[in-house]
Amino acid sequence: MSTKATTPRKEITTVSDAQWDAVRALRAYWVGPAQTAQYPDEVILATAREMLHDHPACQAPMYVVSSPTEALAIAKTFYPDSQKTSILLHYYCGLWRGAWAAWYEGAAILGVEYEDDVYQTFRRRSQHCPVWLWCDHGIYILRHPTTIHWNSARQLHNTSGPAVHYTDDFNLWSINGIAVDEQIVMRPETQTIKQLTNETNNDVLAIRIQRYGWDRYLDETHAVLLDSRENHVEGTLEALYTTTTHGLRFLATCPTGQIVCLSIPADITTCNQACQWLSATPMNVLGRT
């Protein structure tokens, strides 16, 4: 898309309070109502065809769906083999384009001039068709979710339900921006030590244990404290435990209150050694511990 400013160019050197107020209101729109706004199917399809216009894909059947599950259900009418159907749908997620639409529109409020018809096409695409799915027989445009929950850091977050709700059979679950599953959010007490043992993502593991209960986790893994300290350099409280199911575990409480739980080699005996080992270990290795 062309966003070339019209000529002659003008330098923007001052911005009024009213303009900044308008920018703040615009931001509130794009991070709020714009993400859950619902549009008629005909509006969504018109925008999709406008975006494709002379592309051959414009001739393919188009469907507006409320979830990937609904798209799969339609696809199965063409491909009864459910195993094959499960891999037929590809997707393109352009949610980030909404952020760019906000940047462009905010710049326009401050005085930048664009080719308006080109920008409006881009804006409609960001509003109406952020997520596309397709397979051999057609294109599916995913409607916006009906609800989205954020924390104060603008991370997807909900500890009592889905962070993003599309339909009853399709939701996204997230805690502090970390993708988790329904069990962790809705039934954390039903987790098992085996699930915790098999968790390979340390961010998810920390959330699992927090939801499971740290006291319960330490008790059921028969954890024995080997060393602890207050790390004034990092601003953390640290503890090194040996467990019967997870080997050595290094726990650190960040200034934010979050607790991380990392696997440590068996020859480490102090928190200081654990920190030295962690600082020398690539993150992709830590993610597999």
What local confidence, expressed as pLDDT, does residue 24 receive? 92
Residues 200 and 119 placed together within one structural domain of the fold: no
What local confidence, expressed as pLDDT, does residue 250 receive? 93
pLDDT band at 288 (very low <50, low <70, confident <90, very high): very low
Residues 43 and 96 placed together within one structural domain of the fold: yes
Number of domains the chain contains: 2
Residue 11, domain member (yes or no)? no
Residues 35 and 130 placed together within one structural domain of the fold: yes
Among 121, 144, 167, identify where a domain stops: 144
Q: How many CA atoms lie within 13 A of 56 on its CB side?
A: 1
Residues 255 and 136 placed together within one structural domain of the fold: no
Residues 31 and 134 placed together within one structural domain of the fold: yes
Residues 96 and 195 placed together within one structural domain of the fold: no
Residues 139 and 196 placed together within one structural domain of the fold: no
Token duo for residue 94: 């352009």
Residues 135 and 208 placed together within one structural domain of the fold: no
Among 87, 116, 144, identify where a domain stops: 144
- Do 154 and 31 form a contact (C-beta atoms < 8 A)? yes
- Residue 42 Cα distances to 46, 59, 63, 94, 257, angstroms: 6, 16, 10, 20, 48
Domain that includes residue 228, residue range:
187-286
What confidence tens digit (pLDDT) does each residue in 4-16 have?
A: 544 556 788 899 9
Token duo for residue 149: 């929950």
- Do 112 and 11 form a contact (C-beta atoms < 8 A)? no
Residue 210, domain member (yes or no)? yes
E strands within the chain? 62-65, 90-93, 131-134, 139-142, 147-148, 164-167, 170-175, 178-180, 224-231, 236-243, 247-253, 259-264
Among 129, 144, 159, identify where a domain stops: 144
Residue 230, domain member (yes or no)? yes
Residues 57 and 112 placed together within one structural domain of the fold: yes
Residue 156, domain member (yes or no)? no
Residue 221, domain member (yes or no)? yes
Residue 4, domain member (yes or no)? no
Which of 58 and 173 is assigned the larger pLDDT?
A: 173
* Segment among 42-46, 86-90, 192-196, 272-276 with least mean pLDDT: 86-90
Residues 133 and 205 placed together within one structural domain of the fold: no
What confidence tens digit (pLDDT) does each residue in 35-67 have?
A: 999 999 999 999 999 988 878 777 889 999 999
Residue 129, domain member (yes or no)? yes
Residue 62, domain member (yes or no)? yes
Token duo for residue 196: 């915790």
